[in-house]
């Protein structure tokens, strides 16, 4: 099939590359000229495991193309995926201008029947508004709108796309459902769950999915904070409740809170949508507030050890919002660094992928290192913010010997407190001693 993709962010590029790899002819459109020039040269503007290889391979096979020409994009595909950004507005609601701009371009420039599939995360009601906009712009347009939310995790997006748990589509007609089935024919397996529903239900499913996961994280963080007070161990509490098949062990890792491009933005957006309808979602508002507080959960522990942080130097391990990505959007490292700078501490940082992004924000205010060992040397403690695998089996005994004071503030509970104490560290986790 011929498929156009509008938007070459995480979602658009992963979708484009993976669909090309399934044998479709894919044209990716972005209004950012520099990005398109980079992509044409095989340069991927962010770090996502496996994506560069997939792009290079499919460009080589003449199945994946890039352009800035929206008219060309509107004409090329029988199916057009709308994967443009939906950033937060000041009131937390989703800014939908880019989504509607694509709908307008497709209405203006395309000929004959086309299926415009919204993959960007958009509030319930958006597909309906897109369809209305298309008819307003071009009353003869044969463009039909559908919704097909993505459930990709950054750092695992290529695998998630090619091995989905489920495909949810919101459609107006059987014809559009059949076309989407053809798009995904290469992924179809007897066990793959495929739900066909209406526009609003499909759009809402995405928000409900992310809201549930974010709530699960804020819940376990809340329990961890209570564990801290009563001397219980959150890792074992998580294990215990995860044994209940109704709860499941996933997304029960307590720590310094969630970040990223999705959970924070989507929770705020669904709260704003509810508010527009005259309903206040107290639960989801609180999930967001708890998470903001949780990002700084290590600070009182650091202040307990060092009431005065002036003249103290601390190493931060991990800056991205989670491992296997260079994305620092809403990462708790940002909150921690800002607070520590306010208290006058000197900060050394290390991350395998996100250093360049952090440099853009903090410039010369902090010190950058290209190994965890170098960042920790001569410091008064290590703050582990992101649980990259390379931190798990690191030689802490050796590193401890190069530090001024052996303190470990483990924001993701990855270390064994007993072992750390054995090798002379003072250990602080989240919800465990
Ligand atoms: C999420 C959803 O998982 C995905 O389905 C959706 O399409 C986009 O949003 P992503 O933001 O890439 O994906 O990351 P995810 O792996 O879900 O983690 C989000 C955040 O939650 C990270 O900051 C992570 O550290 C945190 N987290 C996750 C926890 O704090 N505890 C957990 O148990 C799980």
Lookup result for tokens 């660094």: 337
150 lines ligand 1 (CB under 6 A): yes
Q: Which domains does the chain have, with CATH numbers?
A: 2-197 (3.40.50.720), 207-294 (1.10.1040.10), 299-428 (3.40.50.720)
Q: What is the pLDDT of residues 268-304, one digit of tens each?
A: 999 999 999 999 999 999 999 999 999 999 999 999 9
Helix axes 263-276, 282-294, angle to 10 degrees: 150
Span 346-372, average pLDDT: 98
Confidence at residue 277, expressed as pLDDT on a 0 to 100 scale? 96
3-state secondary structure of 395: coil
Q: Express the helix, strand and coil content of the chain in percent, nearest 5 each.
A: 45, 15, 40
Confidence at residue 3, expressed as pLDDT on a 0 to 100 scale? 98
Confidence at residue 306, expressed as pLDDT on a 0 to 100 scale? 98
Q: How far apart are CA 135 and CA 129, in angstroms?
A: 10
Whether 145 shows a pLDDT value over 90: the answer reads yes
Model's pTM, two decimal places? Answer: 0.95
Q: Residue 433's pLDDT band (boundaries 50, 70, 90)? A: confident
Q: How far apart are CA 235 and CA 431, in angstroms?
A: 8
Task: Specify the residue with its C-alpha closest to ligand 1, atom 17.
Answer: 153
Q: What is the pLDDT of residues 20-58, one digit of tens each?
A: 999 999 999 999 999 999 999 999 999 899 999 999 999
Ligand 1 atom nearest the C-alpha of 250 is 33
Ligand 1 atom nearest the C-alpha of 327 is 12
Residues in the chain: 433
Cα 305 to ligand 1 centre (Å): 31
Q: What is the pLDDT of residues 194-223, one digit of tens each?
A: 999 999 999 999 999 999 999 999 999 999
Confidence at residue 68, expressed as pLDDT on a 0 to 100 scale? 98
Confidence at residue 49, expressed as pLDDT on a 0 to 100 scale? 93
Q: What is the pLDDT of residues 360-381, one digit of tens each?
A: 999 999 999 999 999 999 999 9
Mean pLDDT, the chain, whole residue set = 97
Confidence at residue 25, expressed as pLDDT on a 0 to 100 scale? 98
Cα 300 to ligand 1 centre (Å): 25
Active site residue 262: yes
Secondary structure (DSSP) of 146-189: EE----PPTTSHHHHHHS-SEEEEE-SSHHHHHHHHHHTGGG--
Angle at 410 between CA 404 and CA 415, to 5 degrees: 100
């Amino acid at each position: 099939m011929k498929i156009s993709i509008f938007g070459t962010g995480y979602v658009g590029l992963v979708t484009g590359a993976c669909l090309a790899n399934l044998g479709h002819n894919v044209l990716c459109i972005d209004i950012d000229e520099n990005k398109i020039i980079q992509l044409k040269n095989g340069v991927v503007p962010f770090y996502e495991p496996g994506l560069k290889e997939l792009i290079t391979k499919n460009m080589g096979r003449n199945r994946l193309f890039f352009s800035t020409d929206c008219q060309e994009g509107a004409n090329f595909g029988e199916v057009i995926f709308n994967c443009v950004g939906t950033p937060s507005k000041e009131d937390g609601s989703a800014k939908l201008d880019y989504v509607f701009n694509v709908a307008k371009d497709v209405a203006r420039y395309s000929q004959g029947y086309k299926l415009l599939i919204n993959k960007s995360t958009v509030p319930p009601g958006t597909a309906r508004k897109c369809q209305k906009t298309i008819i307003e712009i071009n009353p003869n347009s044969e463009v039909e709108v559908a919704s097909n939310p993505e459930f990709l995790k950054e750092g695992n997006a290529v695998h998630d796309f090619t091995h989905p748990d489920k495909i949810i589509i919101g459609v107006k007609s059987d014809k559009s459902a059949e076309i989407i089935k053809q798009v995904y024919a290469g992924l179809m397996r007897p066990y793959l769950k495929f739900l066909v529903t209406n526009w609003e239900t499909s759009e809402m499913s995405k928000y409900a999915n992310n809201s549930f996961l974010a709530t699960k994280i804020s819940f376990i963080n809340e329990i961890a904070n209570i564990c801290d007070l009563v001397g219980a161990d959150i890792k074992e509490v998580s294990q215990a409740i995860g044994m209940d098949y109704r709860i499941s062990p996933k997304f029960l890792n307590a720590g310094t809170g969630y970040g990223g491009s999705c959970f924070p933005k989507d929770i705020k957006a669904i709260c704003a949508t509810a508010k527009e309808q005259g309903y206040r979602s107290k639960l989801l508002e609180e999930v967001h507030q708890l998470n903001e507080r949780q990002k700084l959960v290590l600070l009182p522990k650091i202040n307990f050890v060092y009431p005065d942080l002036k003249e103290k130097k601390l190493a931060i391990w991990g800056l991205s919002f989670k491992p296997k990505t260079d994305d620092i959007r809403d990462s708790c490292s940002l909150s921690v660094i800002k607070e520590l700078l306010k208290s006058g501490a000197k900060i050394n940082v290390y991350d395998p992928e996100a250093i360049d992004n952090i440099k853009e924000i903090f410039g010369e205010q902090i010190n950058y290192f290209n190994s965890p060992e170098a960042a920790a040397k001569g410091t008064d403690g290590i703050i582990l913010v992101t649980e990259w695998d390379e931190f798990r089996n690191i030689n802490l005994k050796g590193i401890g010997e190069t530090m001024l004071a052996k303190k470990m503030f483990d924001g993701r509970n990855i270390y064994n407190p007993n072992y750390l104490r054995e090798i002379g560290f003072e250990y602080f986790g989240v919800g465990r001693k």
